[in-house]
Amino acid sequence: MSLIVQKFGGTSVADPEKIRAAARRAIRAQKQGHRVVMVVSAMGKQTDELLRLASAVSDKPPAREMDMLLSTGEQTSVALVAMAIDDLGAKAVSLTGGQFGMKTDNSYSKARIRSIDTGRIEKHLDEGHIVVAAGFQGIDDDLNITTLGRGGSDTTAVALAAVLGADACEINTDVDGVYTTDPRLLPEARRVDVISYDEMLELASLGAGVMHSRSIEFAKKFGVPIHVRSSFSDRDGTMIVAQPESESSPVSGAALTKDEARITVLGVPDVPGISQTVFSAIAEKKVAVDMVVQNIGVEGKADVSFTVPGDELELTLSALDSIMEKIGATGLTHDADVSKVSVVGLGMASQKSVAARMFRALGDAGVNIHMITTSEIKISALVPRDQAATALRAVHEAFELHERPADAKTWAAIQADSSREADVDDVVARLQNDALEALTLTGISIVEGQARVTLDGVPDQVGVAADMFEEIGRAGIFVDMIIQGYDGVDGSTSVSFTIHDNDLDAGLKVAKSICEAHSMRDVRGAAGITKLSVSGIGLRSHTQVGTVLFEQLADAKINVEMIATSELQVNVVIDSKRGDDAKKCLQAAFADALG
């Protein structure tokens, strides 16, 4: 008999009528012959309400008590859903995380799942019950209640689907699928039939609130297909699976993180380990750093720019205050009115000039780009916050995201094409692991034969990035990593990009002509650099990957020239002479996670 996990988010159980509708949907699935496990979130905005209550009582609520409090939201909703099912004439049992065997570590408010004991759920299913499981919560070894972090019910649902070997994991929500961008922000967004795990993982971590990024890490690791659909209609929604919808589209989605803040630490001594001190100080405050750009040093000094969530700017500045003198930095600037617009697509890894197309769209819309970071399947640009909506619309239009790609496939077509021979033994082995959410690395690799070109004194003006990368594209040069950050002189920026070693002369020639045309300060190039990549699943949420990587390289006195991070890879550019040393020391440091 098939088993289905149905998750209902807060918006889908916001009032008694919606609770009864969710109950009816589960009963219908049971009547169709499925064993049904529901995963339910707190009603409506209940979690926010509980957070407000806590802050009204205490300025610094203890983390343990906070989780005790927040978990009550889900305890209320599972009981109400089970009552509604009972009232509609079917059998149901509600279970808290602790009751259904959700074991986590003890990091309150962001606990990671260790194991799930399925015995009790299976017993209730065997008795003909619909099991109504509380999302977002678990217990640690000492039976303390923990929560998984905001939006964590998606992770509960996908984890349960994995350990129960469910045939389907439905995410029932207030939108009828995954769109090319948040349809609340852009009505012309298109609902996609299929999206790949990797694309959804990036989009979720870049602001697409429809799914919690950790749930996608889980789905990818255990091969759980997810069906995102509307709680209020029977129409099929979007399948999140291994394959993308289209093989040819460079970009499949766009996302906006509205409230970002940019910080630049100026005049940092360009020696191994200094950025590490900066980021450790911030990590101690539990602030997640994004869009890290370290300019290529001039006269032994570099500028380090990065973004943090807007509401964590003050905390970050206070963390930096304490280390400025120690690291010998000369100053600090920040901008609290910026937003990050990003495009994501598996196809961009193999196509030329995708970045130039994005920059041109922003330039034509009159949007100035302050910072740029790229990785294999995403490009992010930091823009003024008052232009965020214009920026999102411009990139959405430039990549024709409102139109279905000609080669777009439905889930049925993808299934028919692939043999779907899942490696069952492999999945079972991974599920027996006692740390379901543990870090999973898939490899550490180096790409040699790379070169870097850096332009200094790039004016912080509309259209400059587009002009630059279009010209480089016209010269037939394939650009891999691109970073742009502040260079500390007159508010101008510095842009670095990596290309193939063979293209260095041509790249420098184009860069010089761009430099002259735009009155930039300088062009520099370096041959003999290596890209070192650590690949895995969910590397941004496992923040220790970045920390360990930088610590190891600093200890080995290897200087990091460029950094690019994504959910799938942490990439650094280093001197080729140290490539093998770097690979070896990281292989040793990550031996456990590499399995």
Ligand X SMILES: Nc1ncnc2c1ncn2[C@@H]1O[C@H](COP(=O)(O)OP(=O)(O)O)[C@@H](O)[C@H]1O
Ligand Y SMILES: N[C@@H](CC(=O)OP(=O)(O)O)C(=O)O
**Interface contacts to ligand Y, rule CB under 6 A:** 9-10, 41-42, 47, 73, 135-136, 150-154
Identified binder of ligand X from the candidate list 71, 115, 156, 181, rule CB under 6 A: 181
Measured at CB, which residue is nearest to ligand X? 9
C-beta of residue 451 within 8 angstroms of C-beta of residue 507? yes
Query: How many other CB atoms are found less than 10 A from the CB of residue 55?
Result: 12
Rule CB under 6 A: say whether 243 interacts with ligand X: no
156 versus 576: smaller Cβ distance to ligand Y: 156
Listed in sequence order, the residues at least 6 apart from 47 whose beta carbon sits closer than 8 Å to its beta carbon are 10, 41, 70, 73, 150
Q: Which does 150 bind (CB under 5 to 8 A by kind): ligand Y, ligand X, none?
A: ligand Y
C-beta of residue 144 within 8 angstroms of C-beta of residue 106? yes
Q: Which does 135 bind (CB under 5 to 8 A by kind): ligand X, ligand Y, none?
A: ligand Y
Q: Smallest gap, in angstroms, from Cβ of residue 394 to ligand X? A: 17
Q: Smallest gap, in angstroms, from Cβ of residue 136 to ligand Y? A: 4
**Rule CB under 6 A: which of 196-215 touch ligand X?**
208-210
Q: Which does 485 bind (CB under 5 to 8 A by kind): ligand X, ligand Y, none?
A: none
50 versus 431: smaller Cβ distance to ligand Y: 50
Q: Smallest gap, in angstroms, from Cβ of residue 577 to ligand Y? A: 48
In sequence order, what are the beta bridge partners of 293? 305
- CA–CA separation, 510 vs 472, rounded Å? 6
**Rule CB under 6 A: which of 31-70 touch ligand X?**
41
Q: Closest by alpha carbon to 150, among 258, 73, 254?
A: 73
Q: Which does 97 bind (CB under 5 to 8 A by kind): ligand Y, ligand X, none?
A: none
- CA–CA separation, 528 vs 498, rounded Å? 11
153 versus 246: smaller Cβ distance to ligand Y: 153
Identified binder of ligand X from the candidate list 123, 184, 557, 584, rule CB under 6 A: 184
Identified binder of ligand X from the candidate list 147, 173, 494, 565, rule CB under 6 A: 173
Dihedral angle sign, alpha carbons of residues 10, 167, 119, 93: positive
173 versus 305: smaller Cβ distance to ligand X: 173
207 versus 488: smaller Cβ distance to ligand X: 207
Q: Closest by alpha carbon to 467, among 392, 375, 363, 382?
A: 363
Q: Closest by alpha carbon to 255, among 217, 198, 192, 199?
A: 199
Task: Please report the beta strands in 326-463, taking only residues with DSSP state E, as ranges in sequence order.
Answer: 331-344, 371-375, 378-384, 440-458
C-beta of residue 108 within 8 angstroms of C-beta of residue 45? no
Give phi and psi for 107, each to the nearest 5. Answer: -85, 100
184 versus 577: smaller Cβ distance to ligand X: 184
DSSP string, 384-414: EGGGHHHHHHHHHHHTTTTSPPTT---HHHH
Q: Which does 503 bind (CB under 5 to 8 A by kind): ligand X, ligand Y, none?
A: none
C-beta of residue 479 within 8 angstroms of C-beta of residue 562? no
Q: Which does 174 bind (CB under 5 to 8 A by kind): ligand X, ligand Y, none?
A: ligand X
Stretch that binds ligand X, among 28-36, 179-187, 410-418, 455-463 (CB under 6 A): 179-187
Q: Smallest gap, in angstroms, from Cβ of residue 227 to ligand Y? A: 16
41 versus 576: smaller Cβ distance to ligand Y: 41
The residues binding ligand X (CB under 6 A) are 9-12, 41, 173-175, 178-179, 181-184, 208-210
